[in-house]
Amino acid sequence: MKARVHVMLKDGVLDPQGEAVRHALGTLGFDGVNGVRQGKVIELDLDASDKAGAEAQVDAMCQKLLANTVIERYDVEILT
């Protein structure tokens, strides 16, 4: 079973990487980009056999390592 985790900064947290990308897009001629938020995607290959167990396992991984829950939010997607 595969899982995909999307990690993004919470609303209100400054995103200097996103701002740098927004600025670079403007200098490359891509006008009209008013904001960019940059995050990360983590894909996991799991030995789990049931979807609920896999989701609980990945949620625990996010809480302990994959996301900084003080400043980041995450979404777990279980792929079959």
Mean pLDDT of 55-75: 98
| For residues 1-5, average pLDDT | 97
Please tell me the pTM assigned to this model.
0.88
Full set of structural domains in the chain with CATH: 2-79 (3.30.1280.10)
The whole-angstrom separation of Cα 77 and Cα 44 is 10
pLDDT tens, position by position, 8-30: 999 999 999 999 999 999 999 99
Alpha carbon distance 48, 37 (integer Å): 32
Is 7's pLDDT higher than 90? yes
How far, in Å, CA of 57 to CA of 62, rounded? 9
Average pLDDT over residues 72-78: 98
Residue 80, pLDDT above cutoff 90: no
